[in-house]
Amino acid sequence: MEVITLTAYRYIAELTALTGTVPPYWSEFQAGKGVLSLRKAQSGLLRMMAPEWWRGRLKKMRDLQREHMAITVGQMQKSALPYVSRSTLGQWVEQKKRNRDFFKRYDLINKEGDRIALDEMVNRNVVNPAIRRRELMTRMRGFADVANETGCVGVFYTLT
């Protein structure tokens, strides 16, 4: 049973890899030279046979390809971000709006029964861009201080 499962996993995973999608547990399977636990092989097979799993991956691949094509032909939103197409910017704005609406609809309740609005907690967290920026600046300052104390130089890069 285990040999059949691993053989099926290898076969379907190789077909999956041909689509440009990384199969579940693929790096572990390759690192173990074709050895994977029966449970992980079964789990990987079930995922690779699930329409929802494929739908998510194919949508991501389609969106990435569409974005590259839009940027290539110059359909960029230069006033906002020069590296994103108009359609992607629109989708991003719409997703932000849906997220805000979701946060406004729900409350958090702790063990004592205290209730607080979810959107209040989100705004206090690093999800809030202003707080995220302050936290980044604080961390950068801390790293710079440590570098100075140890006689090193702190260098920061922005990867895009």
| Secondary structure element (H or E) that encloses residue 85, with its range | strand 81-85
Place of tokens 């099926």: 8
* Domain locations in the chain as residue ranges: 2-55, 83-151
> Are 114 and 103 contacting, i.e. CB atoms less than 8 angstroms apart?
no
Predicted structure pTM score = 0.51
Name the pairing type of β-strands 76-77 and 81-85.
antiparallel
Q: How confident is the model at residue 77 (pLDDT cuts 50, 70, 90)?
A: low
Name the DSSP letter for residue 132: H
Q: Token digits for 144?
A: 């710079």
Radius of gyration from C-alpha coordinates of the chain: 23
As a whole number, mean pLDDT of residues 51-61 equals: 92
pLDDT of 81 over the 60 cut: no
> Are 14 and 45 contacting, i.e. CB atoms less than 8 angstroms apart?
no
**Amino acid identity, position 142:** G
Confidence at residue 120, expressed as pLDDT on a 0 to 100 scale: 84
Q: What is the pLDDT of residues 97-145, one digit of tens each?
A: 998 899 899 988 889 988 888 888 888 877 777 888 888 889 888 888 8
As a whole number, mean pLDDT of residues 56-74 equals: 84
As a whole number, mean pLDDT of residues 57-64 equals: 89
Q: How confident is the model at residue 76 (pLDDT cuts 50, 70, 90)?
A: low
| Secondary structure element (H or E) that encloses residue 84, with its range | strand 81-85
Q: What is the pLDDT of residues 2-36, one digit of tens each?
A: 888 888 988 999 999 998 888 988 888 888 777 78
Q: How confident is the model at residue 45 (pLDDT cuts 50, 70, 90)?
A: very high
pLDDT of 84 over the 90 cut: no
